[in-house]
Structure 1
Amino acid sequence: MGKRSSHARLFFYSLLVVLYFITIFLPSKAVMTAFGLVGLLCILLSFPGADRLYQMVGFLFLASGIGIAWVEGISPKNVSDHFVSPVMLLALLFVLSFFQSLMKVGSFDQALSRLLSARAGHLGKLYIRGTFASYLLTVFLFFAAIPIAHDLLKRNLAGISPSLQKKFLSRAILRGFALGTVWSPLEVLIALVAEMTRVDYTAMLPWLLLFSLGLLAADGTMGYRRHSAEWSGCDRLPPGDDRGRRRLFLLPVVLAFFLAFVWLVQSLLHVRFFTAVTLAMVPYAAVWAAMLGRLKRYVRHSFSNWKRQTPQLQNMVLLFLSVGFFNGMIQQSAAIDGLQTLLHRVEETPLLLFLTIQLFMLGMTFLGISTLVTLSFVGVFIQPLLENMNPLSLALVLVTSSVAPDVAGPYNSTVILMSERTGLNPYRISRWNLGFSLAFGGAGVGLAYWLL
């Protein structure tokens, strides 16, 4: 039964994404009807295999949406319209594995290994390299970056105490992950914020890059000073070869050309940025694999990833589609007018609002609530504020508040992955990184307030 359910999710999730792409170019009534029906079927298929939290949240949003529709007399005929934005996010997750395959078959992870294996001198230098390696891996691989960065970095820490190793790894890797995630064009949280606020990614990118690089430099400087007197055993490790360096320098080129290609697709097809990302990712990765002479290997690896990872999207399918349906219903109801009245006074104290969002997002992770769930909830209530408050400021606060828990949220996937690798209690890792998480959020609030 489990295998058949997995095959059903693989087929219908893939069909939903294909239909989404078709609706972009052929938004006919028949296609939209099929799209809506497949979306409803995907919700039903996702319930049995979803985690308990996502089952509860999905049921709550769906039941609330149905209740609003019944009370307000809203017709369910246009239910497929409410699935378009959520499925765009799912499409981004769906095609992400194809980009990750390029990083693997292109041996970019090996190039980063050579970077870390070069002569370092002391832990201060290794901290900067480790954070930067985690930063680069994250931009391309997301969660897969954590175990890869851990294994690469740990090889270079022989000779120091296990406790110092674990603290060093937990700080360097998670902080590099958060700083890389906060601006990545492949990050689903940013895509979700862009859909909520209708702020284009290109408007956020310069500020998110400034935020990311500024904090990367500041944390690297402090990490260098903190660890510069510790352990000078890195000199024994051999330097990387020229081939590894060339492959490493190719990483930013791959991303830069990808962004340029996405902007070209966006301008030609007149679609939103993250829709262009989903359309551009597979052909772009395939072309790069062909240029590297590894197209056949890339196709095999991508096919394997598609079969393995797509059926595991049930949590995201259930969450995004149920939230999309609820948002569609509440936007058509009289409740939105009452919400606007309730939040009118908040507009007069934006700094308090921004701080509340940051602390609320971080606090909910300590209760075990997923960041995606919390962000979806907050996104519903900030809609009335978008008319009278700078949407860019709200978008930046939502992005930074969503990413800050990646460093210190004890139930976040990132901290749990690091906990599994180091054998530490997640709360200990959170304690080591809580100060950075609060500084990360505070910097986001400061930037957003400055841009009002």
Structure 2
Amino acid sequence: MRKYLFLAAIILYLLSVFYPTTAVKVALSMVCILIVGVTFTKVSRTVQVISSIFISSGIVMLARSGADELDFIQSVGPMMNLLALFALVPVLAIPIQLGNYAHSIQSIILRKIHNSKQLYFLTSGVSYFFSSFMNLASLPMTYYSVRPSASTYHIHHEERFMSRAITHGFAMPLLWTPVTPIVGIVINMTGVSWGEMLKYLIPLSFAGLLIDWLLAALIFKNRRRTAVLGADEIAAGAVRGESKGSSGKLLQILLAILVFNSLVMFTEKKLPFDFLFIVTLYVVPFAFLWSFILHKQKGFIQEVKHHFSSSIVKLSGQFIIFLCAGFFISAMKFSNVDHVLNEGLLIVKDGVGSHVFLLLIPLVPLALAFTGLHPAVGLALMAEALDPASLQIATPLLTVAMLGGAVGAFLMGPFNATIGMMASITNESPYRISNWNAGFTVSYMLLLMSFLLVLQLV
């Protein structure tokens, strides 16, 4: 039953954008209420506790503000734009799987990679590459593409090696890629243009990847290659002539990324739809067209059916917590609590100064991540409380600060899906994965703060 409710909510959300009538909006809210009721007992205790706090707090705020029954009902469902993106983005991974692009990566490793340092750079780079288009699906895609080759090289702790390379590379595109929910949240709530923000976000993203490579190079610098490694290098070099078309297949992914991002940017400028809706609208048609070009349209249809029949149910936790968080945010708006919070933040900003205040903002989603709050939820709550105009902070700076802090949360938060999926893949504890990322996260946060300082001075 849950999958049908999820699908109904997604369809009603899309319909509500084209036909924003009260009847459609109420129908969407009623389905969302049903989802919360049916799914609540199916999620983890942590999600239940956090969701209960959101629901009870929202009810209190609405009741004290004199809200009627319709206000209560319509307060449920505002974050369906984000949940629709969560549900549909995995479809973009289907043509990559059908096109057997993972085999191309294995071929490149055999032909080009001669030592563990080069393997780290490639793994981190491939993870970055896939993350910019596939989101969470890039984690298992990169792991299972590279892991069989890792044993060929002299690596002290293979799972730590793989985890660091993949998560560090994965996190950096989250600053700018349109398929990342956090980007949509911040762009929607701050009102900035995604295309205009790329000139800040992409350089910061590449700088973060470069920091990862520099730190890795320092680690590998003093390690002397053993005789086993030398033999492995010879073995790797012996197959250099194989699979020359592998680089071409990776260029196909790059072309797809450029075309998809260009479509989103063009549509954002020409049509009066919000950023999250545009990305959500393009995902399935674009993935189908790509599969059609690969002559894999039948396989695509089968995979989409499988996704909506079984995989989408795995999003139960996200549906519960985001719907409840959306209800809480709606209640904040209705009761004007968001204005009270903004006034409090203004006092803090005046006390510490605008420069220091801006540097503190990235630490908030990172801190919230350790409470079990998803970075996207943390950002939504922050964006609602932070008014750039009243705080006298340039909107682009606030956008960079919030997105940059969310990336740190994805790297370190032991309860988010990134760390959870990596822990599942490597059979390690989420806390261990988080600890492995600590050094890089500190370096990245220092880079982010330096970047914000430079932007304030320019």
User: TM-score by structure 2 length?
Assistant: 0.89
Residue 328 (structure 1) shift: 1.8
Q: Is structure 2 residue 410 aligned with structure 1 residue 406?
A: yes
| Range that drifts further, 146-155 or 282-291 | 146-155
- Conservation of the 8 A alpha-carbon contact between 2:115 and 2:153: no
Residue 366 (structure 1) shift: 4.0
- Conservation of the 8 A alpha-carbon contact between 2:99 and 2:294: yes
Matches within 5 A, 1:77-88: 77-78=70-71, 82=75, 85-88=78-81
Separation of aligned partners in 2, 1:384 and 1:314: 34
Determine the structure 2 residue equivalent to 1:298.
300
Determine the structure 2 residue equivalent to 1:62.
55
Q: Is structure 2 residue 235 aligned with structure 1 residue 236?
A: yes
Separation of aligned partners in 2, 1:162 and 1:40: 51
**Pick aligned residue for 2:375 from 371, 376, 379:** 371
Residue 76 (structure 1) shift: 4.1
Separation of aligned partners in 2, 1:307 and 1:234: 45
Q: RMSD in angstroms over aligned alpha carbons?
A: 2.5
Q: 5+ unaligned residues in a row in structure 1: which ranges?
A: 1-7
Separation of aligned partners in 2, 1:304 and 1:227: 43
Residue 212 (structure 1) shift: 0.9
SS at match of 2:328: helix
Q: Is structure 2 residue 432 aligned with structure 1 residue 446?
A: no
Q: Is structure 2 residue 103 aligned with structure 1 residue 110?
A: yes
Matches within 5 A, 1:137-286: 137-160=130-153, 163-227=156-220, 229-230=224-225, 231-232=229-230, 233-237=232-236, 238-239=239-240, 240-286=242-288
AA in 1 matched with 2:29: G
Residue 425 (structure 1) shift: 4.0
AA in 1 matched with 2:310: R
Residue 166 (structure 1) shift: 2.8
Over 3 Å counting, the alpha-carbon distance change for 1:251 and 1:235 in structure 2 is: farther
AA in 2 matched with 1:227: F
SS at match of 2:245: helix
- Conservation of the 8 A alpha-carbon contact between 1:17 and 1:91: yes
SS at match of 2:157: helix
Determine the structure 1 residue equivalent to 2:313.
311
Deviations 1:300-350 (A, max 9, x none): 111111212222222222222222222222223243443233222233323
Residue 387 (structure 1) shift: 5.6
AA in 2 matched with 1:129: L
Separation of aligned partners in 1, 2:134 and 2:206: 19
AA in 1 matched with 2:165: A
Separation of aligned partners in 1, 2:58 and 2:218: 53
| Range that drifts further, 190-199 or 123-132 | 190-199
**Pick aligned residue for 2:421 from 417, 420, 424:** 417
Q: Is structure 2 residue 330 aligned with structure 1 residue 328?
A: yes
Q: 5+ unaligned residues in a row in structure 2: which ranges?
A: none
Q: Is structure 2 residue 423 aligned with structure 1 residue 430?
A: no
Residue 408 (structure 1) shift: 3.0
Deviations 1:367-406 (A, max 9, x none): 5444344334434432477663222222212111111133
Determine the structure 1 residue equivalent to 2:349.
347
- Conservation of the 8 A alpha-carbon contact between 2:325 and 2:377: no
Over 3 Å counting, the alpha-carbon distance change for 1:167 and 1:34 in structure 2 is: closer
Percent identity (aligned): 23
Q: Is structure 2 residue 389 aligned with structure 1 residue 389?
A: no
Residue 242 (structure 1) shift: 2.5
- Conservation of the 8 A alpha-carbon contact between 1:82 and 1:324: yes
- Conservation of the 8 A alpha-carbon contact between 1:347 and 1:389: no
SS at match of 1:314: helix
| Range that drifts further, 277-286 or 54-63 | 54-63
Separation of aligned partners in 2, 1:187 and 1:312: 18
Residue 413 (structure 1) shift: 3.1
**Pick aligned residue for 2:361 from 349, 357, 363:** 357
Residue 90 (structure 1) shift: 0.9
- Conservation of the 8 A alpha-carbon contact between 2:2 and 2:35: yes
Over 3 Å counting, the alpha-carbon distance change for 1:368 and 1:319 in structure 2 is: closer
- Conservation of the 8 A alpha-carbon contact between 1:193 and 1:399: yes
Over 3 Å counting, the alpha-carbon distance change for 1:166 and 1:33 in structure 2 is: closer
AA in 2 matched with 1:236: A
Residue 271 (structure 1) shift: 0.5
- Conservation of the 8 A alpha-carbon contact between 2:268 and 2:274: yes
Separation of aligned partners in 2, 1:163 and 1:70: 59
- Conservation of the 8 A alpha-carbon contact between 2:77 and 2:327: no
AA in 1 matched with 2:440: F
Residue 259 (structure 1) shift: 1.4
Separation of aligned partners in 2, 1:328 and 1:367: 22
- Conservation of the 8 A alpha-carbon contact between 2:32 and 2:77: no
Deviations 1:56-94 (A, max 9, x none): 222221221221111111334245654564111111112
Separation of aligned partners in 2, 1:334 and 1:405: 28
- Conservation of the 8 A alpha-carbon contact between 1:9 and 1:46: yes
